[in-house]
A = this chain, B = another copy of it.
Amino acid sequence: MSSFQLVGRKHRPEDTVIAMDGCRIGGQQLTVIAGPCAVEGEEQMLALARELKGMGVHILRGGAYKPRTSPYSFQGLGEEGLRILAAAREYTGLPVITEVTDARYMEKVCHYADIIQIGSRNMQNFTLLREAGRCGRPVLLKRGFAATIEEWLLAAEYILNEGNEQVILCERGIRTFETFTRNTLDINAVAAVKELSHLPVIVDPSHGTGRRSLVGPVSRAAVAAGADGLMLEVHQDPDRALSDGKQSLTPAQFAVLMDELRSLAGALGRRL
């Protein structure tokens, strides 16, 4: 697998660490990104953001532009969602991450967000990747749900090739024949990408499993496999969430998981 260059360990042997205002992604640190699947309203977002900060979360997440399989599903609040995210940052001091789904929205999203997310369905949207390479912000690149490890690294290569070296890879499960879980989280890929690339790798067990009860064990597994962090969906009332409720943790469940992860981090020589 020698088709990529800039993202490879040969190009840069040491781990890339992305330093942001108040947090670092990569290196010895474990980074936890948490928040609702979609931003649903300001009050909800601010209350949750404060709670998550209190539990030690480093970065807030929340979708404003939601890619949805059906045109009849909730599509996100758009710019209003971005505004609310920025308010949550003001309120908590935590950086925020949100997805950009079209090159035309890049400037607007960069205006509000600290980290740009490229979603699974857009991993091979090459014009969007090129824009992300010129946007001046760290980019979290989710693996396409049917992308090989090589294709994923080559998608990152598009971003680095435009001059942006601040790329965070995110494994979020692949599509297989198994139907009990929403996706099959590829734990092999986490270890493989740490070996092949110098970029930080985080894991999204919420999409990777699609089932609340599996998020805890799979989060622990991701950290034990060497992931540099986790991205988790948390919602105050998952049964009423406008999207992905079945895979969202309640704040109480999330607090338990954070404690488990801290104990695990210690045994693995990492910090949380």
Contacts and interface: CB of A to CB of B under 8 A. Distances in A.
Interface stretch (A13-21, A26-34, A83-91, A142-150): A142-150
Nearest to A148: B178
Interface in A200-253: 208-209, 211, 213-214, 217-218, 220-226
A125 B126 contact: no
Contact of A187 (B161, B175, B185, B268): B185
A127 B149 contact: no
Contact of A101 (B3, B126, B266): B126
Interface stretch (A42-50, A56-64, A68-76): A68-76
Nearest to A105: B127
Contacts of A266: 267
A194 interface: yes
B179 A174 contact: no
B154 A71 contact: yes
Interface residues of A, number: 69
Contacts of A79: none
A38 interface: no
Contacts of A144: 146
Contacts of A267: 263-264, 266-267
Contacts of A189: 178, 180-181
Contacts of A181: 188-189, 192
A64 to B, nearest CB: 13
Contacts of A208: 188
A122 interface: yes
Contact of A69 (B101, B149, B154, B177): B154
A173 B187 CA distance: 10
Interface of A: 1, 3-4, 67-71, 101-104, 121-122, 124-128, 144-146, 148-151, 154, 157-158, 161, 173-181, 184-192, 194-195, 208-209, 211, 213-214, 217-218, 220-226, 263-264, 266-268
5 contacts: A144-B146, A176-B184, A181-B192, A185-B187, A192-B211
Q: Which 6 A-B pairs have the closest CB atoms?
A: A146-B146, A267-B267, A224-B224, A191-B217, A221-B225, A221-B221
